[in-house]
Chains A and B, each alone.
Chain A
Amino acid sequence: MPSPRTTVSIPALPALALTLVLALASSGVGWWWSEASWWVLPCATASGALLTWAGLRLWGHPSDNTGGRTDASPRATAHLNDLQRQLMDALRGSEDSALQVIDRINTIHRESTEQLARIRRTDHNGQQLTRIMNEKAMVDSQLGSILQMFVETQEKEIEANIERLRRLQEVKDLGTLVEDIGQVARQTNFLSINAAIEAARAGEQGRSFAVLAAEIRQLANQVGRVADDIAQRIHKATDGIDEELARVNAVSDRSTSSSNMRQVIADISAMQDRFTQSMDQLRLQEVIAEVLSGHEQIEMHIADTLSQVGSQDILRQQIECVQEALQQVQALDGRAEQEPGALQHYMQAQRDRFAALTPPVQRGPASSAMAATDGPAIELFG
């Protein structure tokens, strides 16, 4: 006796799409987390393939000749039970894998947070270092300008001293003139003596001339004493002036101390320029800021990913929904003749229930950035 056959009418394409979504979602999770956990890949891919196979077997392949319709029989009912169990196994395996992935991501997130704190400390230290370097550059520059002032002042004072010595040397030259004056005074003295002798020979007529000769002699002696006094004073004031001038001239030779000092100042200035240039090239703060920004992005991606993995719970609810529907379809299948159209009504309601469990697609900035730079974004149940 042929076994009764009940025809289950289910739109093939939407059902197949649902199955594929579930399968691809599971495979997608496996692909993505294979970066961190290689063993998740085969596990999740297998569960995805299993779901695909189950869907095809249950609702028929779109290429078969039933026009998207398939039949269920008591034998098929036994297979449906098997498929339910397999779905349950796949669900548990998927949950276990997701929990392990979450555990690992939590570890990465914790380490990443600690790393971020270290980078922030480095950033703070870098700012302090930059501030100290800038202060040092400013102090060096200030010191250079003050040394410059010292050198300029010293040079001017040396020049003033040399000028004073040169004037003193000119005074010393006056000594020869004073000697000439003394010589004139001595000759005048001799002349006055001779005049006095001649006046004495003239007798009474030469008396007044003798007085004049005595006055001249006295004046000549006085001039001689003043000349000697001036000569002594000039000698005293200018004693050693030649040696002093020679020494100062040697010291003030610009090829020695001042030029050396100027060279030192120029070296300090050049060193400071190189230092500033190096600081600019190093761009320490910019580098630290870039590292900090990059790490903040990583942390954001991890947080984003954690939230996506959390969607595993939604996946579980959806699978449970499908699982329950499978049982219901099985029951309705048996009462298809008594309740024609019940199965179609149930499947319509089932699609609504499944749609209600499907979250809207979240496309946050982190997900977008990740999709653009790190690889394809995971969009569970999108």
Chain B
Amino acid sequence: MRTTILSIEDQPDIRRLIRMTLEFKGYAVIEADDGESGVRMARERKPDLILMDVMMPGMDGITASRVLAEDASTAHIPIVMLSALGRASDIDAGLETGVRAYLVKPFSPWELISLVSQLTQSQPQGSTPSPATPHTTE
């Protein structure tokens, strides 16, 4: 069974690019376009990893991450934040919610693949990605 990644992102272009990147390396991708539907989908589908945008209409990524972390049924799912907010204070605020890593857009696709592989303990198809240097809590 393929590793499944839930991408929660309101911008269709970025969502498509994330899908392209992950499917290229053999991952299955499911998508949500806002925080509320993302939380609902995470509870229903139990993905192996969640990619979470920060700035979204309605429930933002920070809130959605907190909700998922406090829910026993989803607390085990690793979350990687993807955001255009790249200041140190933004990154700290994101990591404080308990997410496993924080990537600033535009992100390196190699870095994303490496993180997903590492956090899901899965091997991506194709070539070995370059070493990644994301902001992580580990």
Contact = CB atoms under 8 A, between A and B. Distances in A.
Contacts of A150: 24
B125 to A, nearest CB: 10
22 contacts: A135-B11, A135-B13, A138-B84, A138-B105, A138-B106, A139-B13, A139-B14, A141-B106, A142-B17, A142-B105, A142-B106, A142-B107, A145-B108, A146-B20, A146-B21, A149-B21, A149-B109, A149-B110, A150-B24, A153-B127, A156-B126, A157-B127
Contacts of B127: 152-153, 156-157
Most buried by A among B14, B21, B106, B110: B106
Interface of A: 135, 138-139, 141-143, 145-146, 148-150, 152-153, 156-157
Contacts of B11: 135, 139
A145 B109 contact: yes
A321 to B, nearest CB: 66
Interface residues of B, number: 16
A269 B17 CA distance: 17
A142 B21 CA distance: 10
A156 B17 CA distance: 22
A364 to B, nearest CB: 40
A90 to B, nearest CB: 67
B126 A157 contact: yes
A146 B14 CA distance: 11
Contacts of B109: 145-146, 148-149
A149 B24 contact: yes
A141 B107 CA distance: 9
Interface in B20-48: 20-21, 24
Contacts of B13: 135, 139
Contacts of A156: 126-127
B24 A142 contact: no
Nearest 4 A-B pairs (CB), nearest first? A142-B106, A141-B106, A149-B109, A139-B13
Contacts of A143: 17
Contacts of B107: 142, 145
A149 B84 CA distance: 21
Contact of B17 (A139, A148, A152): A139
Contacts of A152: 127
Nearest to B113: A149
A368 to B, nearest CB: 40
Nearest to A150: B24
B23 to A, nearest CB: 11
Given A135-B11, A142-B17, A153 B106 contact: no
A246 B126 CA distance: 24
Interface string B4-22: 0000000101100100110
Contacts of A153: 24, 126-127
Contacts of B14: 139, 142
Most buried by B among A146, A152, A156, A157: A146
A156 B129 CA distance: 12
A156 B126 CA distance: 9
A145 B103 CA distance: 14
Contact of A145 (B24, B84, B106): B106
A135 B11 CA distance: 9
Interface string B77-116: 0000000100000000000000000000111111000000
A67 to B, nearest CB: 81
Contacts of A149: 21, 24, 109-110
A148 B106 CA distance: 13
Given A146-B21, A156-B127, 8 more contacts: A135-B13, A138-B84, A139-B106, A145-B108, A146-B20, A146-B109, A149-B21, A153-B126
A152 B24 CA distance: 12
A143 B17 CA distance: 7
A365 to B, nearest CB: 36
A252 to B, nearest CB: 16
Contacts of B105: 138, 142
Contacts of A139: 11, 13-14, 17, 106
Contacts of A141: 106
Contacts of B24: 149-150, 153
A245 B77 CA distance: 46
A139 B107 CA distance: 10
A259 B116 CA distance: 29
A149 B21 CA distance: 9
A143 B126 CA distance: 19
A163 to B, nearest CB: 14
A138 B84 CA distance: 8
Contacts of A138: 84, 105-106
Interface string B112-131: 00000000000000110000
